[in-house]
Amino acid sequence: GAVVSQHPSWVICKSGTSVKIECRSLDFQATTMFWYRQFPKQSLMLMATSNEGSKATYEQGVEKDKFLINHASLTLSTLTVTSAHPEDSSFYICSASPLGRGIYEQYFGPGTRLTVT
Amino acid sequence: AQTVTQSQPEMSVQEAETVTLSCTYDTSESDYYLFWYKQPPSRQMILVIRQEAYKQQNATENRFSVNFQKAAKSFSLKISDSQLGDAAMYFCAYRSAGEGSGSRLTFGEGTQLTVNP
């Protein structure tokens, strides 16, 4: 149990276009989902926290108009990179926290590699 | 704000030997959780072990064990009988216990573990 999927696993897009990444909890409901960005050989950097039905909370320095997050249901959150540029190329990882108090784990998706040309 | 520090960017160990990865953290909270995650080349984050701060007993999962020193704010990971499959980036992470499913993970910088045959 506790599987999180991401789609696509790998995407190439042209500079100036937008790309959407989906994060789904397959066998549990998640009130909260997290989006991370990871550069090679570096740690995970939290970009934003999304809660179902409400606006995402962005970390300082993360452009909310560039990285649009929608948490439409208890099993789906999406990250849209708008007007992508080569510097947005990175590995994006989502995680989800199961619904209910006392559950302290986050379950991670397999990540999405974004390359902007 | 909480911080997590891993002072060993790289470590190596011979197959079948034991290795210890270090982690220290800073917090003013008394109730929290600590985790070790493994990220192999596939980049899928895998939970290795977790420790609740209120528990004095050190957590153990098969070949993996921790040395949790709450007063010293230290949380090291010991890997016994190292296997080639243990080669990965290891991240130490902190999570507050007070915010339920909305509580973020704070990661250390990571330690790249190499296992030599």
Position A2 scores a pLDDT of 84
Answer yes or no: is pLDDT of A102 > 60: no
By DSSP bridging, strand B46-52 and strand B32-39 are antiparallel
Chain B residues within 8 Å of chain A (Cβ atoms) = 33, 42-45, 47, 50, 89, 91, 95, 97, 100-105, 107-110, 112
Answer yes or no: is pLDDT of A117 > 90: yes
Position B100 scores a pLDDT of 61
Give the pLDDT of chain B (117 residues) as one tens digit per residue.
789 999 999 999 999 999 999 999 999 998 899 999 999 999 999 999 999 999 989 999 999 999 999 999 999 999 999 999 999 999 999 998 876 656 889 999 999 999 999
Contact B50 A105 (CB under 8 A): yes
Position A30 scores a pLDDT of 87
Contacts of B99 in chain A (CB under 8 A): none
DSSP string covering B33-98, please?
A: EEEEEEE-TT---EEEEEEETT--SPPEETTEEEEEETTTTEEEEEE-S--GGG-EEEEEEEEEST
Across A78-87, A95-104, B68-77, B100-109, least confident range: A95-104
Q: pLDDT tens digits, residue range A29-76?
A: 888 899 999 998 899 999 999 988 888 999 999 999 999 999 889 999
Position A52 scores a pLDDT of 82
- Minimum-distance CB partner of B101 among A41, A99, A111: A99
Contacts of B101 in chain A (CB under 8 A): 30-32, 97-101, 103
Q: pLDDT tens digits, residue range A62-71?
A: 999 999 999 8
The residue among A31, A32, A43, A90 with the most chain B CBs within 10 A of its CB, best to mutate, is A43
